[in-house]
Amino acid sequence: MAFDPRTRAADPRTRTADSRSRPANPRARADSLADYLSRSEALRILRVKPQTLYCYVSRGFIRRVPQPVGRSSYYLREDVEKMRMRSTARAGHGPAAASAMRWGAPAIVTSVTEITDSGPRYRERLAVDLARANHAFENVAEYLWTGTLLDEPLAWRAEPGADVPHSLLVAQARIGPGMPILQRLAATVLAMGALEGNLGDRLRSGGTPVTSARRLIRAMTGTFGCLGPLGTHVPIEDGEPIVGGLARALGVAADNSRLRALNAMLVLIADHELNPATFAARVAASGGADLHACISAALNVHTGRLIGGVPESVERLFAPGAGAKVVVGTARKSIGAAERLPGFNHPLYPRGDPRAEMMIELARGFGRTQPARGMLEAMDRLKLELAQSPSIEAGLVTLCRAIGAPAGTASGLFAFGRVAGWVAHILEQRLQGFMIRPRAKFVRAA
């Protein structure tokens, strides 16, 4: 009997022999929401013969995941939908535009980042190469903004009056002691935007978008002190490297290996082309919003559970103390319920996410006795037994645990590092000089 999430029985007394062989899912969902598809469902959506489906799989266009029970396989819905959209796009401009909204063809011209099989390429340099060469995050950020990569590490200096925003941010940190780090970062962006005033105030003060971006990133660095032992905003010293300020704010030992790991994480996540948050930043920029408003738009989109919320889901999946057997068992249940594992099998990297691979490689370098040991063992089994390749979120959580960072750090770093890319896209969108205004296709409700 083919897997069909629409017929899963929630009541164990009414399950068939086939349904008893896989985990019951009390949150049974409609077929249109399942993350994985059976062979018959994939064939029905694609309207192709089985041989064509197998060809797509063999060429890496559609990923196949073994069912936890039996010899059948599931197919990743995102991959199937992408192939369907490619076929539909041949019918004309309208379908092609629609397909571009779902992991489809490029929709905006950019010179900032290109997605390749080797990971994102920032302008002319692969992110993994920049991280492996230990280029400072500040240098990579300005490379994204200006196109010039300097070898000498940059030191962003404090500006006059920096004590004023610090006192404000310290007072802000006292509000809501349990506030998630993403909300705290968003509050920091709003506060810094208010302090810089309107466009006229910024022009009169001689400020530029790049100086505003530097000042904002320094302030956001101190916000991580709310996760650290001090539990409040920590001021970044004049000329202090961003990774040094992060380590101090988080209470992480500032040895060379940990600073290098923090820097690698920030470099690897600095940009990822036109993801939803970056698209929001460009939309805001195209409407004439100032830098902080554009970053706020991006950050608020990023906080969604399917984007910036994924690292928290990964932390729950790999709860401290949960052995590899428990994690793999939970994963089997999720896959058996046609649900994707958070932080695994990125749609753009069918052969594995190079950014995550580098982070996991760095995590292993801290030794098998470090806090991420159990997580590394579980991920090895997930890849071997269930064809689950870690993506950027799983890599972030693993490396954050390996260096001893507090819980929630991965979620914060995911947004914080991405600010560099958002600024680059905002600057580029302003130069392009047009308003992003897609059209909608109206259909009558059923």
pLDDT at 162: 57
Whether 360 shows a pLDDT value over 50: the answer reads: yes
Report yes or no on 49 lying in a domain.
Answer: yes
Q: How far is CA 60 from the centre of its chain?
A: 22
Report, as an integer, the average pLDDT of 327-347: 91
CATH (domain of 101) = 1.10.1660
pLDDT at 2: 41
Band (163; pLDDT cuts 50, 70, 90): low
Whether 1 shows a pLDDT value over 80: the answer reads: no
Q: Where are the beta strands (DSSP E) in 127-234?
A: none
Question: In this predicted structure, which of 38-42, 229-233, 343-347, 387-391 has the lowest mean pLDDT?
Answer: 38-42
Report yes or no on 91 lying in a domain.
Answer: yes
pLDDT at 21: 36
Report yes or no on 265 lying in a domain.
Answer: no
Query: Dihedral sign, CA of 58, 104, 143, 355?
Result: negative
Report yes or no on 349 lying in a domain.
Answer: no
Report yes or no on 75 lying in a domain.
Answer: yes
Question: In this predicted structure, which of 105-109, 120-124, 140-144 has the lowest mean pLDDT?
Answer: 105-109
Q: How many residues does the chain have?
A: 446
Q: Report the b/e string of 367-388 with b at 16+ CB within 10 A.
A: eeebbbbbbbbbbeebeeebbb
Question: In this predicted structure, which of 39-43, 65-69, 237-241 has the lowest mean pLDDT?
Answer: 65-69
pLDDT at 75: 87
Report yes or no on 48 lying in a domain.
Answer: yes
Range of the domain at 52: 32-107
Integer Cα distance of 263 and 154 in angstroms: 13
Report yes or no on 351 lying in a domain.
Answer: no
Output the six-digit token pair for 140.
Answer: 């990579």
pTM (predicted TM-score)? 0.80
pLDDT per residue over 242-263, tens digit each? 999 999 999 999 999 999 999 9
Output the six-digit token pair for 174.
Answer: 């006292």
Report yes or no on 98 lying in a domain.
Answer: yes
* Residues in a beta bridge with 66: 73
Among 42-46, 99-103, 407-411, top mean pLDDT goes to: 407-411
The structural domain count of the chain equals 1
User: How high is the mean pLDDT of the chain?
Assistant: 85
